[in-house]
Structure 1
Amino acid sequence: MEACCCNLEVDVNGEETFMVDKTVITQYSNKFARLFGKSSGATGKLKVIFHDFPGGAEGFELMLKFSYNNGTADISPSNLFLACCAAEYMEMKEPVADVSNLLEQTEKSLQEISYWTWSDLLIGLKQCQSLLVPDSSVMVERCLDTIVGRLVLASEASPCPSTSSTDSSWVRYSCDSKSTESVKTSFSRLTWWFEDLLFLSPLLVAMLVKLMLSRKMDHVVISKFLLYYQKAKFSTATTHEKCKIIEMVIDMHYDMDLSCVPCKTLFGILRVTLGLNISKCSRNKLETMIGSQLDHATLDNLLVPSPYGISYLYDVNLILRFLKAFLRRGNGLVTPIRKVASLIDLYIAEIAPDPCLKTSKFLALATAIPDSARDSYDELYHAMDMYLEVHTQLSQEERLKICCGLNFEKLSPQACLHLSQNKKFPSKFAVQALISQQSKLKNLLHMTPSTSSYNDSPCNSSGAAQKGKKNKTSEQVVLYSSNFDISTDNEKLEAHLQGMQWRVMELEKFCRKMQIQMAKITKSKASGHSYAKSLPKLCS
């Protein structure tokens, strides 16, 4: 580059030094004009050092070409953003003299961005990223918005539109470069751009996704792009970069419609975060999202290893936080909370054999679910039995605390009988289980139809006699239990328990006989079309 008088030395970011004519360059740059305004008559060479010139030596050289070519420049998609950044930095908005304005020329070129090809948009976006343009830059927003607009059109259009279309070049480019197949699957037509945008930084991906969400793009496709991006970038990223990438992925998913994000996807993201020190805010967002869909989780999903430094095998605290998020959702639906209750019971049974699991953690899980969410406490009882089997060193007080988590009214007869013989449980709970079971059997038998319902039945007299026998037996059991003294020694306690077990079994046998008899009565009445009453559900 030749100049009449090279009286100004410019060091650009330590990359390269330029010798320029101060008079020429100040004619186009308000920054230089202001800098040399008071020393315009000074003789000798001056030196200016730039440490943060956008685009470095390449950007400064582009600005010099514009200045030395009488205010003209060859602006194209490949250098538009570079010229724009250089013009802004050198304050080339309002010319000092009556000359052309580089920033004005770049803005006019930017208005034609909608006519750029897909490859031109990618080149421009790469240039923006290399220039470290702030996220509020109009150039970046315009470029990203144009890309999103193209993707929206592509998702609505056929895979390879006709060449007569105004914007067909960018779509043809994507189709031709991504596959040699003449016909693509529907999903591949929606994801052909994934590979093209892998060069974006997490910051620009976040800006891109926000624009996609505002343009109502398919959340499923957006989620798949984020996961594709995360997986591709992790192969070469540092630990710090991995944290930034996964935090961006979490934050973007948090803004989506969670009904479009499978629970499996969220647990996959969770697995990736293990071992990474991501921000507390992003971790809370992920746990909230998972908690809100806990009724769609599986046992394998919940078996997350404990973080480093925790003695027990699985991360119980994490599951408790999931539960808290799920219960906080409070949608009032019965089915989801019952699914979660069953899932948590399975989880408790899985972690119960862990010898390092503290009683407080076990009890917190057992009591976290409302009683109304469980139809049966059998699974929880078996988990408690397993826990007590492994943790033989527990004190009597700790055993009592654990057993208080049971609802004996929701234990099956088999579980109650097992508990009554289970010496790992405190004696008072064995007695309580038997009394509860006897009470349920008594109520069951009292729910049978009255004798007036069987006036025409040939079995009426025998049924009444059996009913009397039943009442007598039930009353004897109740009297027996009311006179029971739990303060007696172990031998008497075992004798009492055995007697109560025998009576419970006798009642169960009698109940089964009555069910058979009632079935016969029902069949007899149905054949004569004279009995329209339905039997109680518990006796059916």
Structure 2
Amino acid sequence: MSDRYSNNPLNRKSKSPDLKLYVKDVPFHLRKEALAHKSEKVTTLLECNKIDELRCILRDIDIDPRTFLLVAKFCYGYEMQFSSENIVSVLCMAYYLEMNDDHSSDNLLNKAVTFLEQRVLLSWDETVKALSVCSDKILNKVADLGLTEVFLDSLVEKALNDPRLLQDLTTLPLRLYESLILESSKLNVSIENLVASVCNYAKVHVFEKGSGDESVSRHKREVIEAIERLLPHERGAVSCGFLFKSLKESIFLDACSDCRKGFEDRISKQLDMATAKDLMILSSEEDGSFDIELLKTILKSFYSNYNVSDVSRCVIVARMLEEFLFEAAASKHSLRVETFKALGEIAVAASCDFLRYSDGIYRAVDVFLERHRGLIESEKMEVCRVLECKKLSSEACEHASKNEKLPLRIVVQVLFFSQKQIRDKVDREMKGVEEKTEEASEEDDDEIDNMNKKLLRLDIESDYRKKRKFENLECIAHCAEKKLKEKKVSVWREVKRKFGCMTSSTVDACDCHIKKRKKTYHRYK
């Protein structure tokens, strides 16, 4: 490799090299004057006669030998071959060596800036490509130059127009990726696109298998801690499966406590959205063991946020834990009795106030005993301690009463509670019959009362009609009598009128007679 970089036409039409530099253990034989012609920094060192510092000039920046060869050839008058892969390193080196136009016209720094603006920053792919090859030392120089914001602004602007571009950023260095996602989240990029990008980044840098050396583990630890910081806290924003995987990796990689707690909190907020297979992620791939305390911590956090309106969520979690117990019992690993019992106690505690039957726990016990046929009677009893016979349905009781895998004592208990269920059922049915009989009797009494009321109403109506009929007859007779009297009076009046006993004024017969007599009396007097 040394010959490859030292055998180059840098010294044509010139004197022999008088300076030897090493770039990542690769030697370069150069002329001081050629470098000084383009580099103000080299010129200053030569003028101060600091040759030793000149030999160590490139230690502060992480330059690839191929990139340095291109820069050196430029100092010898060759045309610079820019690309997205070398532009950032060339730019940092040109800035570090002070290769500006004030020192030499048409110098490297100005050319590099022009290429960056016209050929790199205008393209999403080229910008990502340019940043993906940068080492930490180069990124430090990029930050010193103030170029980090330039790159991020370019990417964020394009991501706002098309958020799907955020998906393919797995090649970006973590420090740039985290900054890009944070900036995008501030500018209303949808949560769905941000989460998809973060999950994809974690899949490549954390979940994929790699070597177990310290540097890889350290990188993964840094990534998983950044992933936790970038994920939103909204319920349901991140899948439960991804959260469980991330929690497991954070424990394995010995991430900081804030990272682990962040994943635990997100899981507890949406535990009712998880499945039994999600919980199985927490099991050890080597022996199938479980972190019981971790599971209790998650459940405790879930129930601490429980209120009356969340009963349905608690029911879902209780059923999910029963299914999880079944999956654990049926797993390929030979689960220990102590572990199964501990998981079973958790499932029982979750279901006691929310589930009427414990058939799911019975299914788990049955499959565990099936996979551990060699257990002695006392071990079987330990397994069955999580089984509540009084909470088995009639179907489960029937199955358990014929289950030869169960200890005899458990079968007896099942039969006892099964008979009790039958008695209770008969009592309920008999009580129901009595209630129906009483209801029927009450209905008959009501019917009799209704009939009596109807008859009484008919009698009352009959008397009323008779009374009305009698009153009508009296009324008719009275009217007839009145008419007769009126008829007699009117006839008499007519007779008196004819005999001149009545004037136009209405007076009765007695008055008329008295008046005539009075008039006669006055005439004779």
**Range that drifts further, 54-63 or 228-237:** 228-237
Give the corresponding residue for 2:433.
Answer: 513
Does the aligned pair in 1 maintain the 2:344–2:361 contact within 8 Å?
A: no
The change in CA–CA distance for 1:13 and 1:363 in structure 2 (over 3 A counts) is closer
Runs (5+) with no aligned partner, structure 1 = 156-189, 438-497, 531-540
Q: Deviations over 1:412-445 (max 9, x none)?
A: 68879999999755799889x96xx9xxxxxxxx
CA distance in 2, matches of 1:298, 1:199: 32
Give the corresponding residue for 2:92.
Answer: 85
Question: Is 2:37 the counterpart of 1:13?
Answer: no
RMSD: 5.7
**Range that drifts further, 60-69 or 206-215:** 60-69
1:309 is displaced (CA, Å) by 5.4
Question: Is 2:277 the counterpart of 1:300?
Answer: yes
Question: Is 2:341 the counterpart of 1:369?
Answer: no
Does the aligned pair in 2 maintain the 1:352–1:362 contact within 8 Å?
A: no
The one-letter code sitting in structure 1 at the alignment partner of 2:150 is R
TM-score normalized with structure 1 length: 0.56
Question: Is 2:212 the counterpart of 1:209?
Answer: no
Match of 2:336 among 344, 350, 356: 356
Match of 1:255 among 223, 230, 238: 230
Equivalent pairs, count: 417
The change in CA–CA distance for 1:127 and 1:514 in structure 2 (over 3 A counts) is same
- Structure-to-structure mapping, 1:424-503, within 5 angstroms: none
1:293 is displaced (CA, Å) by 2.3
The one-letter code sitting in structure 2 at the alignment partner of 1:361 is A
Secondary structure of 2:378's match? Answer: coil
Give the corresponding residue for 1:117.
Answer: 123
CA distance in 2, matches of 1:521, 1:210: 77
Does the aligned pair in 1 maintain the 2:87–2:116 contact within 8 Å?
A: yes
CA distance in 2, matches of 1:128, 1:285: 30
Secondary structure of 1:152's match? Answer: helix
CA distance in 2, matches of 1:522, 1:216: 70
Does the aligned pair in 1 maintain the 2:268–2:298 contact within 8 Å?
A: yes
Does the aligned pair in 2 maintain the 1:209–1:252 contact within 8 Å?
A: no
Question: Is 2:162 the counterpart of 1:154?
Answer: yes
Does the aligned pair in 2 maintain the 1:16–1:57 contact within 8 Å?
A: no
Secondary structure of 1:11's match? Answer: strand
Give the corresponding residue for 1:346.
Answer: 323
Identity of aligned residues (%): 20
The change in CA–CA distance for 1:411 and 1:239 in structure 2 (over 3 A counts) is same
1:81 is displaced (CA, Å) by 1.9
The one-letter code sitting in structure 1 at the alignment partner of 2:223 is M
Question: Is 2:49 the counterpart of 1:39?
Answer: yes
CA distance in 2, matches of 1:338, 1:122: 48
1:214 is displaced (CA, Å) by 3.1
1:344 is displaced (CA, Å) by 0.9
Whose Rg is larger? 2
CA distance in 1, matches of 2:125, 2:383: 70
The change in CA–CA distance for 1:105 and 1:411 in structure 2 (over 3 A counts) is same
The change in CA–CA distance for 1:135 and 1:21 in structure 2 (over 3 A counts) is closer
Q: Deviations over 1:233-264 (max 9, x none)?
A: 79997335599569736742653234322334
CA distance in 2, matches of 1:301, 1:150: 36
- Structure-to-structure mapping, 1:123-138, within 5 angstroms: 123-128=129-134, 132-134=138-140, 137=143, 138=146
The one-letter code sitting in structure 1 at the alignment partner of 2:429 is K
1:153 is displaced (CA, Å) by 1.4
- Structure-to-structure mapping, 1:235-314, within 5 angstroms: 238-240=210-212, 244=219, 248=223, 251-252=226-227, 255-257=230-232, 258=234, 259-266=236-243, 277-281=252-256, 285-304=262-281, 306-307=283-284, 310=287
1:141 is displaced (CA, Å) by 4.2
Question: Is 2:172 the counterpart of 1:200?
Answer: yes
Runs (5+) with no aligned partner, structure 2 = 1-9, 451-525
The one-letter code sitting in structure 2 at the alignment partner of 1:90 is L
CA distance in 1, matches of 2:34, 2:171: 41
